[in-house]
Structure 1
């Protein structure tokens, strides 16, 4: 494979660092546990207590799902800070994996909702420590001049993510069919395997990478700035108090907390961008590029708000309104989510090859146009679900093909947005704000996941006639956003400068 090994005269010219495959293994098992558990999460929460579920309403379960998945991404910000200031990336990844495993073990214990929520909190905190920092370690395996080799390394790493999620979304729902808590327990076993692999091989193949907190080096040059961190924390606390006392939020309900968190994310993000633009000491071209990053932030938040319904509203539709029989065997509802990872594994190389071939013909598809395509594909996927919902509203069950086609369209959309947006953000960011801007990208994912949970909470199995309208609203928003990106593409491209 040319991405992995280049040769001259039949002899290797270079190979990827062996540490890449250590991190590949750790991330694969972490994603096995995360996506495997996510595939059964809302199903377990909305199953009656008599059937050993949690017995929550769909609205509450959707809000809890949104809070949990949003927290996973939001926690990457303090997770990165802890790694940079206290632990170093290596220890942060290991500690994060331990917290994730403990969380899944707690989820495997039958008990009260409080036990369940405690388990979710451990998983979210652990993922925040692990996810961003393990990606940082991958980047540090390569020298700055190894651009092509670095890109190939991240492609291999990305395949580990999807391989883990693909297998997890098959095995965990299968075991959960017999017992919910066995499914959660299998997720813990997956994380344990990743920890064992990481602990055994990391010292040998990662060397000293990520062992020393980065801020200890920066403190010697006086480049740290903790005042900004304190100001953000203080602002969040004040905002929470104001919202509570004005009655704008109701922190006694999961839905109210989720709505408050969404508002806080939006306000803080906008404040952050305004501060960077007006007080960040940027040149005019840099300000234009930061403005483009904000536009991409909005686009990715809209995309994830629809895409991440795979584990909320679409998962509930699979359970309650989809004919999942293959012969005499009924496929577990959560297993259908594995089609997304399967499609990514199959089509990622194909989509990548298309971009390369187009570029070879001097046809460079710019980032805003790719965003437009991804958002429109998201909308087309939900249009398929509108038709499937009409079938369910008529009293029949929809075929599995509707969900499979939806996941196919969403997967191709993901390939035109997620890696493209991440790459564009890294290129557009002013060098002194690169880490913060990459963190903002994860905040966009957090906001999208939160909205996805709130939308999923509106999915009422008792009100079948309303389902087509729920899905149709997502169609209008995503297709509308895609058309706006398409129309604004020439303007956005000018502000991007030479960044493609």
Structure 2
């Protein structure tokens, strides 16, 4: 495949046509809008589908098992982004990888929409995990392809794109959640499949005209010899893995609990391996090695943060279903609707934080201090959830405003940590490991959710106060320690602010 310069790629994209931005932003905005509608709609009812009784249309799993599956599912989605990056960089380029990822996601939701067994459920999860891994990281990469390096519209373009993500995430629990819980889980999953179908249609119809060469280039293509070797290894690996899984499941060696434990271990082993390779590599300079060391406590902080934030779709979703008074102000609330709170608060608060950092300028907190504040707010979002049980016991249904407050606090923490983390990752990454380090950032969520696979098993009515109190307190303590060591971490960052 021909190599294109950055200038050739940018010039191939119509640079006006979507609110003063490249026309391709329209294509990627609505592709990601529908993909997020599909993903978050499915996720809003997935936990309930797993633990509701068969007579209620669910699978009838134990609640702690269902919660663990939700956690490992989230972890695997982010781990699979590594596969998506490799496929785009070595085989297909970002544009085609996005399309095939969307197709796999839609197939996964179609499988979910058909009444089936637990085996069919896990098959659908494989499709969705791999498909999301192919699509999710590459959409953002193609957005960047459309702008020249010094284009002043670049940050605003990503902000508009980010709004599409959150609009899809906001609407889908309201639509899919209402249909899935009010009519049929399978009909809800079918709506998620339809959402991904709309995304694919938008992408297919407009990408040739709007995206030009963006995402077409394969940065580091495999040679013909390498393709043969990779194909053989891939086929052999899939066959061996399928045989091991089949034998393990049939003999009872591989249980759901052992699978969750394996994913939890991978959530720790993979980032440790990443850090070890970067620190020991001859390609890493002394300054870069110092910055990698500075990145380690930030990684741990982000991992703890996402462990709490992602429980909004697990423990807080279960809390909304079983511990919350869903009759409020004369209306009946669907428990899935609470999943819309996170993107709703982000839509309203993100511009506020952007204004705040601009206003503070050089006086704004350092990166480690922003991370520490993010952890403290995440901890507070859990601490407030112990009060309903503390004051009224676990037999009384809680006011839904407690959940609203919890989601609000964790979103403040997210806006302090997540955008800053993305920016800091690009600054601290060694030149030879720039792409891998971005993958490492996404592993903070994977590792946090891998940790959740074990944590969520501890939650029940008897442990509710201790669960929220201890996890919240641990997050706050780590946040305070990070604040205390922030100046020291800043020195290791070697001039990066």
TM-score, with length taken from structure 2: 0.89
2:220 alignment partner, SS class = helix
2:183 alignment partner, SS class = coil
Q: 2:72·2:264 contact (CA, 8 Å) conserved in 1?
A: no
2:426 counterpart of 1:426: yes
Q: 2:34·2:196 contact (CA, 8 Å) conserved in 1?
A: yes
1:480 corresponds to: 477
For residues 9-34 of structure 1, the C-alpha deviation after alignment (integer angstroms, 9 at most, x for no partner) is xx99x932111121011011101111
2:86 counterpart of 1:89: no
Where in structure 2 are the equivalents of 1:324-403 lying within 5 Å? 324-359=326-361, 362-391=362-391, 393-403=393-403
1:496 corresponds to: 493
1:197 corresponds to: 202
Q: CA RMSD in A?
A: 2.6
1:125 corresponds to: 130
Where in structure 2 are the equivalents of 1:75-474 lying within 5 Å? 75-146=80-151, 148-176=152-180, 177-216=182-221, 252-359=254-361, 362-391=362-391, 393-460=393-460, 464-474=461-471
Q: CA deviation at 1:149?
A: 2.2
1:56 alignment partner, SS class = coil
Using the alignment, how far apart are the partners of 1:286 and 1:318 within structure 2?
A: 45
Q: 2:75·2:267 contact (CA, 8 Å) conserved in 1?
A: no
Q: 1:59·1:454 contact (CA, 8 Å) conserved in 2?
A: no
Using the alignment, how far apart are the partners of 1:156 and 1:293 within structure 2?
A: 28
Q: CA deviation at 1:491?
A: 0.6
For residues 408-449 of structure 1, the C-alpha deviation after alignment (integer angstroms, 9 at most, x for no partner) is 000111000111101100111122211000011111111112
Q: 2:112·2:124 contact (CA, 8 Å) conserved in 1?
A: yes
For residues 246-288 of structure 1, the C-alpha deviation after alignment (integer angstroms, 9 at most, x for no partner) is xxxx952222212222212312321221221122432221111
Using the alignment, how far apart are the partners of 1:306 and 1:283 within structure 2?
A: 35
For residues 274-322 of structure 1, the C-alpha deviation after alignment (integer angstroms, 9 at most, x for no partner) is 2211224322211111112222221111111011001111100110010
1:365 alignment partner, SS class = coil
Using the alignment, how far apart are the partners of 2:339 and 2:146 within structure 1?
A: 32
1:465 alignment partner, SS class = coil
Q: 1:58·1:459 contact (CA, 8 Å) conserved in 2?
A: no
1:62 alignment partner, SS class = helix
Q: CA deviation at 1:70?
A: 0.8
Q: 1:44·1:180 contact (CA, 8 Å) conserved in 2?
A: yes
For residues 71-100 of structure 1, the C-alpha deviation after alignment (integer angstroms, 9 at most, x for no partner) is 111111011111111111111000101111
Q: 1:393·1:465 contact (CA, 8 Å) conserved in 2?
A: no
Task: Decide which of 31, 38, 46 is 2:36's aligned counterpart.
Answer: 31
Unaligned runs of 5+ in 2: 1-15
Q: 1:62·1:454 contact (CA, 8 Å) conserved in 2?
A: no
Using the alignment, how far apart are the partners of 1:98 and 1:281 within structure 2?
A: 38
Instruction: Label 1:385 to 1:79 Cα distance change in 2 as closer, same or farther (>3 A).
Output: same
Q: 1:391·1:397 contact (CA, 8 Å) conserved in 2?
A: no
Q: 2:390·2:465 contact (CA, 8 Å) conserved in 1?
A: yes
For residues 80-121 of structure 1, the C-alpha deviation after alignment (integer angstroms, 9 at most, x for no partner) is 111111111111000101111111111011121111111111
2:15 counterpart of 1:15: no
TM-score, with length taken from structure 1: 0.88
Using the alignment, how far apart are the partners of 1:65 and 1:457 within structure 2?
A: 11
Using the alignment, how far apart are the partners of 1:48 and 1:104 within structure 2?
A: 21
2:62 corresponds to: 57
Aligned residues: 465
1:7 corresponds to: none
Using the alignment, how far apart are the partners of 2:482 and 2:211 within structure 1?
A: 42
Using the alignment, how far apart are the partners of 1:414 and 1:317 within structure 2?
A: 21
